[in-house]
Structure 1
């Protein structure tokens, strides 16, 4: 019998990558629902779904996500929606007897000034970055939710904490997106308009690590498939989460220069230091994951080229929103 897997958030960037990866296997049966079919913010709907469907595993990729500006403008939405989705899904899955869940989080769970590279044990050892604190707190609660059901009910609920993700199906909104899709869109428009300059938020000095979403999907399935004894042998006491990244970072300036090259923009790069930089550096320690047999395989430049190609192929979706 194939394993019936529910991918929550299958239409998003991460969820769609998981679906692509899992569909390539012959031992799984995927179950997906759009928001119109199943509203994860409504507990009664989630309870009814799990009572009806014989689900074996859950990948919890559904989330309210966005960049610095979106987090600043909509903090209540970010903390409420993410807390509600996690609580509804995890509890309903437990009540339905589902033993395995993989919750997808974010590296923003770690303190703003955590030692670099950040180990899993850095969780809750210092203040968070203020610009995305509501989202980070919701994701920390999700980790602790999984750990609590493991401790009290013997479940096998795991969490993966990826670094900054990018790739096909990303959000290319000009104001509410993350740094890579925002810059790809901005540089694309500047190149088409033969603009002399592109203005970039912040000083360009912060360092970031970026992971292609297809690598993220592969790592997630790898973690979910690990036998319990192997997983527990490589898990620090009381921790259910593991970092997923490349182990390599770059400055925002270097990122912008690479995106300019990928999009064919030949003008000037101007950095607006009056805008917030966010966390000075975010590099994950991925030694635990590498010890469990997985390593990233998509370089940043190759990943950016593939993402830009996807963006160009789907331009019609963005027309009317400033994309040439």
Structure 2
């Protein structure tokens, strides 16, 4: 099916910083030659949505429709689309376009586009229009920035993979998590629980480092081999020099020197959480042990598809709590309190319910 008609879509919209959500109708462009129109089934809530809605990063545009963990079904395609057909199960992640010409884009690393990727929401597309995200019933995206969701993954469990899943998969792959490698995951939240599942599926020996032992049963059930409380100072003595890779998924500032001391020779501490305050360290923590302190930012389209295929093969999805459109505001407050196991996902069909 090919269509050229623009449409409108029901959505959850925030008009000003910190305001509540309201139901609204937004415009979606007519599919261009290489566009697909997607009926959104589920949209995950990422902590970055909360930062943006509450203007905590200082770069928000309003009115805003958040959401960059999108799972749905293709309902229309442009005349030149070759990758997808009507009825395909697809997803959209954190960006919907990039310059396509710089070195990172040509290498399939669009997340590092030198001109800047076009964010799925709170961005500006190539026409200068503000982008609206997945807290809506429909979205129109160029086929080259859409990925296929394997049949074996439920839509609700798949949605958070488009951000949380790829955010942990990319560094785990790059720093070679697998058999014979000891991996620590710092934090067992929306990112961390997927880090545990994926690292375990890759064959690594997995340890969770959490502030307390409150989530130990969850961590072991998800695939961790060991679980330690970082509030216990003896943890940093007992585990000194233990890990090849530490993946930090929390947004709170860490005592970096203490965590770097947990690395083996040539080990790496990779950060995917973003603290609001600057961090500091003693450079000797890197020099002694030839350690690496680095970061990682989601993944490109090719790697995101690789991640989804891997999750499909291993029957991995996020553990989610499905909520209705009227529960999003309360869910935001619960995320801030860490009162979720492990990701909220919005049932977009509830936008039709008054």
| TM-score (norm: length of structure 2) | 0.22
Q: Hey, which of these two has a bigger chunk of helix by percent?
A: 1
TM-score of the two chains, using structure 1 as the length reference: 0.24
